[in-house]
């Protein structure tokens, strides 16, 4: 896996971190608390480590840290890696110290977030490597309630964020064309929502031409073969950005990498990334 450094902004806003952790802990601890941890004597202390069972790219450090803090502010953690960094299988990601009860109570919530988000970052990195020199972009196909965290994990993996919501970007898709033409859509968007790039999903080279003529700022070539993409890229001639989408896999990605497209957007990096296997190893008192 490549070690290319992600840019600086690999962390989500803290408000999103705090909220997600609070909800996850409420799910796991209310109303009676941790029944099993209550069997452990109060005084017992422990040292433990978050250990990677697989290689990957870290994401979710702030979430895991916040889970520890919300369960017990006296837990201490030293992190050896930050979001966006690649680690080998077997790596110790963080050393943790505190009472055994508190560590056990926080364990699963911390790991669920760490594993889920690192899974996304790691799959993103694989796609980033596969589509280079094009870049991988995410989609709105995120887990409901976790978009801020998942979009940050994509950045940690070296991907680029597409629009964050229907409210912060314009993408005219085929289904919109049931109500208006590409030309009208682009013109109306420029008039009503100026200062925003208008992207148009195109299935054919004719649509690409119409989008270009209408003044679109980006085209999304959907479900085209690599050859068709190459033709479209040539048609666009560098005047606007070109994005490719539609079931691109790690196998087919390299074919699109050579087409000259700027971006390949992949829903799978957020909706189907398997968890990255990270565990908590108890090391002693």
Residues taking part in catalysis: 108, 141, 173, 201, 222
Local structure of residue 6 (DSSP, 8 states): P
> What's the closest the beta carbon of residue 15 comes to its own copies, in angstroms?
6
Q: What distance in Å separates the CA atoms of residue 40 and residue 204, rounded to the nearest whole number?
A: 65
| Residues in contact with its own copies, shown as a per-residue x/- string from 238 to 277 under the rule CB under 8 A | ---x--------------------xx---xx--xx-xx--
Among 96, 136, 185, 261, binds its own copies (CB under 8 A): 185
Among 2, 4, 27, 204, binds its own copies (CB under 8 A): 27
Q: What distance in Å separates the CA atoms of residue 259 and residue 131, rounded to the nearest whole number?
A: 10
| Residues in contact with its own copies, shown as a per-residue x/- string from 212 to 241 under the rule CB under 8 A | -----xx----------------------x
Per DSSP, the residues of 157-168 read TT-B---SSTTS
20 scored as a contact of its own copies (CB under 8 A): yes
> What's the closest the beta carbon of residue 224 comes to its own copies, in angstroms?
17
- Residues 59-118 binding its own copies (CB under 8 A) are 70, 100-101, 104-105, 107-109, 111-113, 115-116
Angle between helices 61-71 and 100-131 (to 10 degrees): 170
Residue linked to tokens 């309630």: 145
Choose one: 124-132, 133-141, 204-212, 229-237; the region binding its own copies (CB under 8 A).
133-141
Per DSSP, the residues of 169-235 read -EEE-GGGGGTS-HHHHHHHHHHHSTTS-EEEEESSHHHHHHHHHHT-SEEEEES--HHHHHHHHHH
> What's the closest the beta carbon of residue 11 comes to its own copies, in angstroms?
8
34 scored as a contact of its own copies (CB under 8 A): yes
Structure tokens at 165: 């919501």
């Amino acid at each position: 896996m490549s070690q290319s450094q992600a840019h600086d902004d690999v962390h989500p806003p803290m408000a999103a971190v705090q909220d997600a952790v609070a909800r996850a802990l409420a799910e796991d601890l209310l109303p009676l608390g941790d029944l099993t941890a209550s069997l452990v004597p109060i005084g017992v202390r422990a040292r433990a480590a978050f250990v990677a069972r697989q290689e990957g790219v870290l994401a979710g450090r702030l979430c895991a840290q916040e889970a520890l803090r919300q369960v017990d502010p006296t837990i201490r953690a030293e992190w050896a890696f930050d979001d966006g960094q690649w680690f080998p299988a077997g790596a110790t990601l963080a050393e943790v110290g505190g009472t055994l009860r508190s560590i056990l109570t926080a364990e699963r919530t911390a790991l669920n977030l760490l594993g889920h988000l690192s899974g996304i970052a790691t799959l993103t990195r694989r796609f980033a490597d596969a589509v280079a020199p094009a870049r991988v972009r995410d989609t709105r196909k995120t887990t409901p309630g976790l978009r801020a965290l998942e979009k940050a994990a994509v950045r940690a993996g070296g991907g680029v964020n597409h629009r964050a919501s229907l409210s912060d970007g314009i993408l005219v898709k085929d289904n919109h064309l049931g109500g208006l033409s590409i030309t009208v859509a682009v013109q109306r968007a420029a008039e009503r929502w100026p200062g925003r790039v208008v992207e148009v999903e195109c299935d054919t080279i004719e649509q690409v031409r119409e989008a270009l003529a209408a003044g679109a700022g980006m085209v999304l070539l959907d479900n085209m073969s690599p050859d068709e993409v190459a033709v479209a890229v040539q048609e666009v001639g560098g005047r606007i950005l070109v994005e490719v989408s539609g079931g691109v896999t790690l196998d087919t990605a390299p074919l699109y990498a050579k087409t000259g497209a700027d971006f390949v957007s992949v829903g799978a990096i957020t909706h189907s990334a398997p968890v990255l296997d990270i565990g908590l190893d108890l090391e002693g008192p």
